[in-house]
Amino acid sequence: MTLIATQSLTKTYGNQVTALSDLTVTVEPGIVGLVGANGAGKSTFIKIMLGLLGPSGGQARVLGLDPTVDGHEVRTRVGYMPEHDCLPPDLSAAEFVTHMGRMSGLPRTTARERASETLRHVGLYEERYRQIGGYSTGMKQRVKLAQALVHDPDLLLLDEPTNGLDPAGRDAMLALIERIGTEFGISVLVCSHLLGEVERICDALVAIEGGRLLRSAQLSDMTTVTEVLSIEVSEGTEELAARLTEAGLSVRAEGQLLLVPLVDDTTYDLILTAVAELDLPLHRLDQRRHRVAELFATEPTEPTEPAEPAEPADLADAGTTTGGLQ
């Protein structure tokens, strides 16, 4: 089943402001990143998905339903975590999430059970009986996530879930979202203005800019071909780069890091040998996905897809992968 499908979706406020413009995108279930700068139209997109805003033009379907017609049904099956602060300070997390569960149509006892279950899953235990006003930002974000999850939705819409978190908190939140998407079996749409953040956990990415679709791509396809090893040594970076190039690897420098495409296991051996022979202090050697930013930025050499008429002309750099472009 298609998770979200839009067809020439357009939203204008008044006469002047265009939030979304001719957006056509298809998203399959999984963890989907919706990336764009502030004001790119991410929040408007979410509100249309929830049926809270009517589109000025075009169509949208969420979980196979039209949110403008069946908004009620859509909102029963979708959980929404807003970007801004949305928690009453003088309630405990347990009470608040229970109430929100009831507001989604859960019977009283079920709401209470599911509230404490959900709070446990997001990592709040005994603290859940304390007033939310005394929580740290990280705990508040977890409560916000829990209230979106309490009624067991089929789709979670998360608007900037890592906002205001420190690096450790970000990692924890992203790990949690990844668990929701994989273990819990709930599809997630994560909005973020930080591409580097969501690319780590997403199966697919949708990038929008100024209300237009920049690119939509399935990440699982590209990771197999674009896995890279990043190497960090505290000195002798140039020497190592030269040595690796000699060994037949295509080395690219990125700041203090050297990036080497991972061909097979021998790549590791080559690198380790080179480091050992040069007697360099190796800081880090890890495998990572190709930075999606590069995929979005660089012009691919050969388009593997025929250009689609719906695609904006200036963005007709069809992906190296099977895109979600309609």
Partner 1 sequence: MTTLDAQPAARPTGVIHDIGYQRYSGPRLGRRHIVGALFLHGLRAAFGLGRTAKAKIFPWLVVGVVGVVAVVLTAVRAQTGEVVLRYAEFPEVLTILIIFFCAIVAPELASRDLHSGVMPLYFARPLHRADYALARLASLVCATFLLLAGPITVMFVGAAFTVGEVGLVWDEFGSYLGALAYVVVHAVVFGAVALLISSLIRRRAIAAGAIVGAFMLTTPVVVVLTLMPNATANQLAGLASPVSLVSGLGDWVFESTGEAGIGGYGPLYAIVAVALVTGCVLLLLARYRKVASK
Q: 146: number of CA atoms within 13 Å, CB side?
A: 32
Q: Does 138 bind partner 1 (CB under 8 A)?
A: no
Q: Using CB under 8 A, which of the segments 19-27, 106-114, 271-279, 309-317 binds partner 1?
A: 106-114
Least distance CB 122 / partner 1 (angstroms)? 11
Label each residue of the chain as H, E or C.
Answer: CCCEEEEEEEEEECCCEEEEEEEEEEECCCEEEEECCCCCCHHHHHHHHCCCCCCCEEEEEECCECCCCCHHHHHHHEEEECCCCCCCCCCEHHHHHHHHHHHCCCCHHHHHHHHHHHHHHCCCCHHHHCEHHHCCHHHHHHHHHHHHHCCCCCEEEEECCCCCCCHHHHHHHHHHHHHHHHCCCCEEEEEECCHHHHCCCCCEEEEEECCEEEEEEEHHHHHHHCCEEEEEECCCHHHHHHHHHHCCCCCEEECCEEEEECCCHHHHHHHHHHHHHHCCCEEEEEEECCCHHHHHHCCCCCCCCCCCCCCCHHHCCCCCCCECCC
| Subset of residues 162 to 221 that bind partner 1, contact rule: CB under 8 A | 180, 183-185
Least distance CB 254 / partner 1 (angstroms)? 36
Q: Does 104 bind partner 1 (CB under 8 A)?
A: yes
Q: Does 89 bind partner 1 (CB under 8 A)?
A: yes
With CB under 8 A as the contact rule, the residue among 45, 80, 135, 296 that binds partner 1 is 80
Q: Which is nearer to partner 1, 57 or 89 (CB)?
A: 89
Q: Which is nearer to partner 1, 72 or 252 (CB)?
A: 72
Q: Does 91 bind partner 1 (CB under 8 A)?
A: yes
Q: Using CB under 8 A, which of the segments 14-22, 94-102, 170-178, 273-281 binds partner 1?
A: 94-102
Q: Does 146 bind partner 1 (CB under 8 A)?
A: no
Q: Does 151 bind partner 1 (CB under 8 A)?
A: yes
Q: Does 87 bind partner 1 (CB under 8 A)?
A: yes
Q: Does 45 bind partner 1 (CB under 8 A)?
A: no
Q: Which is nearer to partner 1, 132 or 228 (CB)?
A: 132
Least distance CB 52 / partner 1 (angstroms)? 6
Q: Which is nearer to partner 1, 149 or 213 (CB)?
A: 149
Q: Does 289 bind partner 1 (CB under 8 A)?
A: no
Q: Do 226 and 321 contact (CB within 8 A), yes or no?
A: no
Q: Using CB under 8 A, which of the segments 145-153, 168-176, 253-261, 307-315 binds partner 1?
A: 145-153
In 3D, which of 42, 41, 22 has the Cα closest to residue 32?
A: 42
Q: How many residues lie near partner 1 (CB under 8 A)?
A: 40
Q: Does 134 bind partner 1 (CB under 8 A)?
A: no
Tokens of 305: 């897809």
In 3D, which of 219, 213, 215 has the Cα closest to residue 40?
A: 213
Q: Does 86 bind partner 1 (CB under 8 A)?
A: yes
Q: Which residues of the shown chain bind partner 1 in the complex (CB under 8 A)?
A: 50, 52-53, 72, 75-76, 78-80, 82, 84-91, 95, 99-100, 102-108, 110, 114, 117, 121, 131, 147, 151-152, 180, 183-185
